[in-house]
Amino acid sequence: MGWKSNIEENYSPDRKSKLTFYEFEEPSMMMNICRFSITDMIVDHKYEFLPIWAIDRLSKGKWSQNSRYVLLATAFPVCCFLICDCVNMAFTFVRFQNCWVLNGEIFDDRFTIEYKDDQIPERIEHDKYPTKLFSKPDNLTFRFCDLRWLSFQDVANFERLGKASIIVDFELIDNGWRKFKGELPATTELIVWELQKFAEYGDEQSKIWYNKIQSQARNINHWVKASKYLGVLKRKLP
């Protein structure tokens, strides 16, 4: 696990509160997390948010214009969007399974969640393998008055509270397969990942080949040619 000791700060618009991020870690590639605290600059009091890990790469926290609320995405012990009320020293959260691909915006009375454009798969149609057409769901809006708020002192119970909460289902809309305009596999000389796409698309020959690989191999390497498992076979079905 990588680790770096630098500290980063994010002040509220009125400069009366600040977020401090520290203990940056990279438990896996493209996954960056960190600890954080909130400091009341007026009385110089710091609130620690152990055992929560924020998702570093999404944002360094977003403040509402009135400086009262701050929004963060968290990875551990639960994946959620966390909102802190720096006036009442209270927090609330909404749990998702996929915070990594979502973007949050915060306002004085609500926050919104959007599926990130650059996280939509298969945005470009290919002639090498079939692709699906996905579209974004409508943004979600959560009004602060509708959420359950807890004292900063309850942060110690965050794992229990978080895992007992409902997970909001917010996934892309699957509009089905685009009509494939290229050529169907003529031989097993294509990578297994592409063969799987053709099988899922409904090509019967690809289904036969891919099912045979599944029956022969326990741990399939999807990035080698299918011929590694089946030998070089030629298409029999139209």
Query: Is residue 143 within 8 Å of 89, Cβ to Cβ?
Result: no
175 burial type by CB count under 10 A (0-12 exposed, 13-18 middle, 19+ buried)? exposed
pLDDT value of position 27? 77
* 111 vs 102: CA distance, rounded Å: 13
pLDDT value of position 5? 57
pLDDT value of position 1? 42
pLDDT along the chain (238 residues), means of 10: 69 96 82 91 94 79 96 94 96 95 96 95 91 96 97 94 95 96 96 97 97 94 97 93
Q: What is the pTM of this model?
A: 0.85
pLDDT value of position 238? 83
pLDDT value of position 205? 97
Please give the single-letter amino acid code of residue 16: K
* DSSP code per residue over 50-110: TT-EEETTT-S-EE-TTSSEEEEEEEESS-EEEEEETTTTEEEEEEES-GGGEEEEE-SSE
